[in-house]
Structure 1
């Protein structure tokens, strides 16, 4: 009869709770953020994008591929990101376990000495023993625990997206440092060749002086031009050393040389395609992370809202109790009880109101962060596309400039040998050629940087 009454009470509590729980937990809907026109003046209706191309296919240089592989395996920031994912997985496991009953074992010995005035004829010293299990289960009738579990899952997704963001950033940074090294190598070779040419020019000036075509000033000026070029070699060596050390740090190794190819060997195995802005939501890791953070904040708001409703808890205990140790496990010493309780918040010092208000403000902040991240992504895509287009234009013009300057150097040297040009014209022509050759290297590295920047801006590198 007592068990039957308890079942009726429990059924009544559960039915009432389920009726009241309707509408307390709301289903998350994906954020409707505006992506049209996100790339600015760049219009594109083709969904093809280089973001879906694996980095192993995008980059063709085997030395660069080896560096990226090494960096992904050993870079400390990458390893930290991986550990954060494992941490988020642990919190999700904890969130799932919160839906299950909590069970604990207990064993105790209790000694009591009663006052003689209360027990004049009975035993004053009493020892009791207890051994049993206790279980407590909060029935999630309002979705509070389920919301917490979904928030933990969203946090895992956001953390995983964050790890992907670290990976895309690491790949692009390694590639850019690698290209900078190749560019510095090219500048070093150009400068060394210029120094060699200037040494030859000094000897030519000495011969022309003997012929009376130039004065001693021409020799001195030629030597000065030689040293002006040669003095930049230590700076280039230092830049190479520092860039190698920076790249080594990214690769998770101590400072040292980095094996690499030449700038002329660098090619990008891809057609530049930005796709449509809406694809950023599924391709770019930091955008994905921001959206999952919106989901997490939404579920935490659901969780905070559930605190305004009563909580239903079932507590059960069973075990053995006796005053003699040898009677502890006797079947007659077994006892059990079950308690169902419904506790409703009445006065919580505004704790629940504050919790909900904070959760709602964090949810709105997460939404604004998503919008900000999207705007930043659109800006980076536009910048990278513009940089690539302008670098292509510069390279075409630079080729024409170099062709003209090479002819200028040849013509002035010939004219000088016939006394129809001055030594300053020769020096100016050579200096202009050196500047244009170094600028051409900058143009090449600018174009490579634009491709890598676009690849990262679109979310490439984590697939």
Structure 2
């Protein structure tokens, strides 16, 4: 009998698995073409800077300490961790659905029956106790058989949701690292631009005195003096704006670190070292390296399982329920010959809810298609960001080579025009003014070139999916 029973159970489980496979489909990763995600780039080397640790990418220990503080304290990242906890609870709930439910209850019922409802003759009505008290202890259980894969699909959907939340947290982490580094570099660039402007202001204050002396020697006229003073104030007026930009950048970085707004310790832009060789790997690596791409795929997977779940509503539901307990008119005798129980097994086939089930399935299919498009879009966006960051880096390096030559030429131009102003009538102060303004603009632009290079490396690192390991 035992062997026969085991065979029967095995046959039932096998049949259930076959039936479930006919209703629900097995998930497969969607096929996407990644051959040309990187514009004008053909690569075969799979080495990617995305695998580099943060401390290897950034040599500035002050920056790496700020990044670590951000990873420990950032509120957006903590919120993402709590979303993972929510998804874990949902996944645990989906696993618990495979187990039978069990509930217990205890109740006391006080009832009175009217004599008229018993239809007894009046002379016998007073002979019966028309008031009764019933004591009852009950256990209820219920279990749903997962014949069509309904519970399994719900479980897999919850698992995909959990993995999606984990990928979302990693995406927040990579973006946080990039934001901290970019803001840190921007602060140092503003510091350097402020230093250049202050140095220029000191030179122009001296220039005003020089032009006044030249006027006394009848070499220049009063217009040159006024122009030199205006040139001095043109530099001076930009300093408050630079200070405000520095203050706002410090406050923004403080928020990323979950600090109250305040000063930020930092190094110098000239001390920053960059990675010698930027390896970007092959485009297909974005599928596993980019957290937001993985997040989009897990969202599609959850939608796929939701479609499977919607299909199961067209098929009968097998449930087994049971109830047992004790009931007695006297509490002291509740366990004496007062045990009762019942078991019920039943199939529930939807008949008049086909319209609702069809609508549910159409909705699930549409949402699955939307999730697929979102997955494709995330991959295309990832390729775009890699291409943009790489091109920005190449442009920054190219510009810095030309900028050095421009600065050298403008410094000579300023020196020559000042000398000519002293000893020759072939020039006037307008030439000096033009050359000084051009020099200041080029100096500030050279800082931006260096900032562009550093931020391009950070953005390329994030675009490739670096920072979450």
TM-score bin (small chain)? over 0.9
- Which of 111, 125, 128 aligns to 2:134? It is 128
Q: Deviations over 1:349-368 (max 9, x none)?
A: 51211111111111111001
**Would you say 1:200 and 2:199 are equivalent positions?**
no
More displaced stretch, 37-46 vs 20-29: 20-29
Structure 1 SS opposite 2:99: coil
Structure 1 SS opposite 2:456: helix
State the partner residue of 2:344. Answer: 339
- Which of 318, 324, 331 aligns to 2:324? It is 318
- Which of 415, 430, 437 aligns to 1:431? It is 437
Structure 2 SS opposite 1:73: helix
State the partner residue of 1:298. Answer: 304
Distance 2:322 2:28 in 1: 39
CA contact (8 A) 1:51 1:460 kept: yes
Q: Deviations over 1:66-113 (max 9, x none)?
A: 222222222222221111111111111111111111000011222232
Distance 1:22 1:191 in 2: 72
Q: Deviations over 1:370-427 (max 9, x none)?
A: 0111111111111111111111111100011111111222223333333364333222
CA contact (8 A) 2:287 2:293 kept: yes
More displaced stretch, 53-62 vs 386-395: 53-62
Structure 1 SS opposite 2:105: strand
Distance 2:152 2:407 in 1: 68
Q: How does 1:144-293 map to 2 (within 5 A)?
A: 144-269=150-275, 271-293=277-299
State the partner residue of 1:103. Answer: 102
- Which of 327, 330, 337 aligns to 2:333? It is 327
Distance 2:343 2:53 in 1: 59
More displaced stretch, 152-161 vs 51-60: 51-60
**Would you say 1:112 and 2:118 are equivalent positions?**
no
Pair 7,428 (structure 1): closer, same or farther in 2 beyond 3 Å? closer
Q: How does 1:311-390 map to 2 (within 5 A)?
A: 311-330=317-336, 332-348=337-353, 350-390=355-395
More displaced stretch, 341-350 vs 16-25: 16-25
Gaps of 5+ in 1: 1-5
Q: How does 1:368-447 map to 2 (within 5 A)?
A: 368-419=373-424, 421-447=427-453
More displaced stretch, 204-213 vs 392-401: 204-213
Cα distance, 1:459 vs. partner?
1.2
Distance 1:314 1:94 in 2: 20
Q: Deviations over 1:110-158 (max 9, x none)?
A: 2232343527465422222111311111111111011101100000101
Structure 1 SS opposite 2:22: coil
**Would you say 1:31 and 2:36 are equivalent positions?**
no
Cα distance, 1:446 vs. partner?
1.1
CA contact (8 A) 2:314 2:354 kept: no
Structure 2 SS opposite 1:371: helix
Distance 2:407 2:388 in 1: 27
Distance 2:7 2:187 in 1: 78
Cα distance, 1:288 vs. partner?
0.4
Cα distance, 1:270 vs. partner?
5.6
Gaps of 5+ in 2: 121-126
More displaced stretch, 250-259 vs 81-90: 250-259
CA contact (8 A) 1:51 1:459 kept: yes
CA contact (8 A) 1:102 1:135 kept: yes
Considering only aligned residues, what root-mean-square deviation do their CA atoms show, in Å?
2.3
Pair 257,350 (structure 1): closer, same or farther in 2 beyond 3 Å? same
Structure 2 SS opposite 1:57: helix
Q: Deviations over 1:296-347 (max 9, x none)?
A: 01111111111111111111222212121111022x2222222211111111
Q: Deviations over 1:157-212 (max 9, x none)?
A: 01111111111111111211111111111111101111111112222223333433
CA contact (8 A) 2:205 2:232 kept: yes
More displaced stretch, 418-427 vs 399-408: 418-427
More displaced stretch, 61-70 vs 384-393: 61-70
Pair 459,31 (structure 1): closer, same or farther in 2 beyond 3 Å? same
State the partner residue of 2:82. Answer: 83
Cα distance, 1:230 vs. partner?
0.9
Distance 2:280 2:15 in 1: 55
